[in-house]
């Protein structure tokens, strides 16, 4: 059974203070690892897909990396508008294309 564990559960940063969120996963054959951003009261917004170990993706102040056991979402010089819950999910394939999600990291960036 696929498993995804995200840490920390909550992270509070000062504006400009860089940090990383962790997503550890156990899956029998990774097809893709996904990062989402979710604002309060809204649906998750797709950020990145990572396919294989060593891959990196960047978008503005966010950079996602992938190893064989975990993924990191690095946030460089965050701004208050980066405050959100960040969700990680994996897809191990199969005919129904179901994803397994972590519980998320609630990021708060103070001005």
What residues make contact with another protein under the rule CB under 8 A? 31-32, 34, 36, 41-46, 49, 51, 87, 89, 91, 95-99, 101-104
Q: Which residues lie below 8 Å from residue 92, measured CB to CB, with a gap of 6+?
A: 2, 27, 28, 29, 30, 31, 100
CB nearer to another protein: pick between 47 and 70? 47
Residue that the structure tokens 């701004």 belong to:
79
Report d(CA 26, CA 7) in Å as an integer: 15
Q: Smallest distance, Å, CB 63 to another protein?
A: 18
CB nearer to another protein: pick between 78 and 102? 102
* Residue 80 φ/ψ region, left for φ over 0, alpha for ψ in the -120 to 50 degree band, beta for the rest: alpha
Q: Smallest distance, Å, CB 109 to another protein?
A: 21
Per the structure block, which two tokens stand in for 64? 């996602």
Q: Smallest distance, Å, CB 97 to another protein?
A: 4
CB nearer to another protein: pick between 90 and 109? 90
């Amino acid at each position: 059974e696929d498993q995804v564990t995200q840490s920390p559960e909550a992270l509070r940063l000062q504006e400009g203070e860089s940090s990383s969120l962790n997503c550890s996963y156990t899956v029998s054959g990774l097809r893709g690892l996904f990062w989402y951003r979710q604002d309060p009261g809204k649906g998750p917004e797709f950020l990145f897909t990572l396919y294989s170990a060593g891959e990196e993706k960047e978008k503005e102040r966010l950079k996602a990396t992938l190893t064989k056991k975990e993924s990191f979402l690095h946030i460089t010089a965050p701004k208050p508008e980066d405050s959100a819950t960040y969700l990680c999910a994996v897809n191990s394939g199969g005919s129904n294309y179901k994803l397994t999600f972590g519980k998320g990291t609630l990021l708060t960036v103070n001005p």
